[in-house]
């Protein structure tokens, strides 16, 4: 039996392209989940591993969907080969249970981990550079600019929160926070 496994890292990402690829390759059952690959808890992947038996094939679209690290990949492939389960990574090919097959798989796993480690390193370097800027703020960018907030706070002087929210699109909770921050800045400047 051919089993597929599709995974994306965040809830906002779409699994459909992976599912389409796996179906095109003849997967009869596809396990799917939206969970980061860095976590140990991948319940659907665990269900798949418990389901497969000798002669079955597990398919994934890319190597990074399969394992969290080179060490994890090597351990997983070893366990699957011991069960008589084949592994087909669509952008790599079928992983053969031969010395050459294991070598190629280990090299590719190491490259995948190297790529992930480099992404993490570049992200951290970018954060260090960004934190040096005085207007640095970690997290999602503000939906409304400083001038829009100032305008809305001016409107609050003669309108209710509900009216200002309707006029500007800025939510009451954002207005309340902005008003609170403005009062703190005003007190600090005195």
**Alpha-helical segments (H) within the chain:** 16-24, 43-51, 63-66, 70-83, 99-131, 146-156, 161-168, 172-189
Q: Is 9 a catalytic residue?
A: yes
The active-site residue out of 9, 69, 110, 171 is: 9
The span from the CA of 74 to the CA of 60, in Å, is 16
C-alpha to C-alpha distances, 96 to 99, 100, 114, nearest whole angstrom? 8, 8, 23
**What's the token pair of residue 177?**
């926070």
CB atoms within 10 A of CB 84: 12
Q: Which residues are catalytic?
A: 9
């Amino acid at each position: 039996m051919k089993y597929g496994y599709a995974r994306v890292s965040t809830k906002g990402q779409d699994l459909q392209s992976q599912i389409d690829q796996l179906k095109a390759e003849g997967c009869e059952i596809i396990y799917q989940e939206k969970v980061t690959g860095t976590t140990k808890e991948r319940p659907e992947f665990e269900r798949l591993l418990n389901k497969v038996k000798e002669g079955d094939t597990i398919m994934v679209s890319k190597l990074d969907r399969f394992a969290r690290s080179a060490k994890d990949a090597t351990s997983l492939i070893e366990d699957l080969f011991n069960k008589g389960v084949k592994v087909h990574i669509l952008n790599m090919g079928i992983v053969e249970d031969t010395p050459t097959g294991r070598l190629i798989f280990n090299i590719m796993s190491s490259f995948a981990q190297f790529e992930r480690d480099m992404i993490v390193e570049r992200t951290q370097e970018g954060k260090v550079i960004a934190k040096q800027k005085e207007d640095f703020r970690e997290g999602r960018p503000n939906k409304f600019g400083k001038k829009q907030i100032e305008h809305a706070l001016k409107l609050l002087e003669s309108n209710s929160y509900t009216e200002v929210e309707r006029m500007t699109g800025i939510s009451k909770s954002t207005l309340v926070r902005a008003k609170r921050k403005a009062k703190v800045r005003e007190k600090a400047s005195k």
